Amino acid sequence: MKLLEVSGHGIPWLLGAAYCLYKSDSAAGQEVLLNLLLGLLLDLILVGSVKAVVRRRRPAHNQMDMFATFSVDRYSFPSGHATRAAMCGRFLLAHLVLAPPVRVLVVLWVGLVGLSRVLLGRHNVTDVLFGFWMGYCQYNLLEMLWLSPQALQGLLGQLA
Ligand SMILES: CC(C)=CCC/C(C)=C/CC/C(C)=C/COP(=O)(O)O
């Protein structure tokens, strides 16, 4: 369960995407990875905002022993792990060429991350279900905001 928690945490995803971006030598790979980073940041902002507004307490039996949390992470609605798993799961299925068994594993991982949030006592079922729905929608939003290579070049040009 703890391993599933780490696998859906924001830090490994952000570091992993940043590292792959650093190592990537193709324009297509860089485009996908930069947009994944954008999605991960968007997820942190949106989940943090909803948590700050709703302020639903985590279940009483939860022990707050998670690593690297923000202050809003004392709140449970929605599950940030569930939003991230749903969004990243859709992202991987859409942008990586994966063999069918691996695609099934991705979907299984999304479901198990959600289940582990409840079994670890971190969340109520509704936090996770809403998180899945929110992550699904966040992926749609990311597709709408998708930064094309031209937009990225313009952005980098302005920064330089
Ligand atoms: C660069 C940067 C701002 C990194 C922050 C990553 C971070 C600390 C994410 C928080 C992940 C987390 C513990 C979310 C809580 O998930 P729940 O499923 O318990 O809502």
Burial (Cβ within 10 Å: 0-12, 13-18, ≥19) of residue 135 = buried
Catalytic residues: 81, 123
60 within 8 A of 1, measured Cβ to Cβ: no
58 within 8 A of 74, measured Cβ to Cβ: yes
Number of domains in the chain: 1
Instruction: Rounding to the nearest 10 degrees, give the CA dihedral for residues 51, 53, 54, 59.
Output: 40
The phi, psi pair for 75, rounded to 5°, reads -95, 155
Ligand 1: centre distance to CA 67 (Å):
9
Range of the domain at 118: 2-159
Q: One digit per residue, pLDDT tens: the chain, 160 residues?
A: 999 999 999 999 999 999 999 999 888 898 999 999 999 999 999 999 999 999 999 999 888 887 888 888 899 999 999 999 999 999 999 999 999 999 999 999 999 999 999 999 999 999 999 999 999 999 999 999 998 888 877 776 787 6
pTM as predicted: 0.91
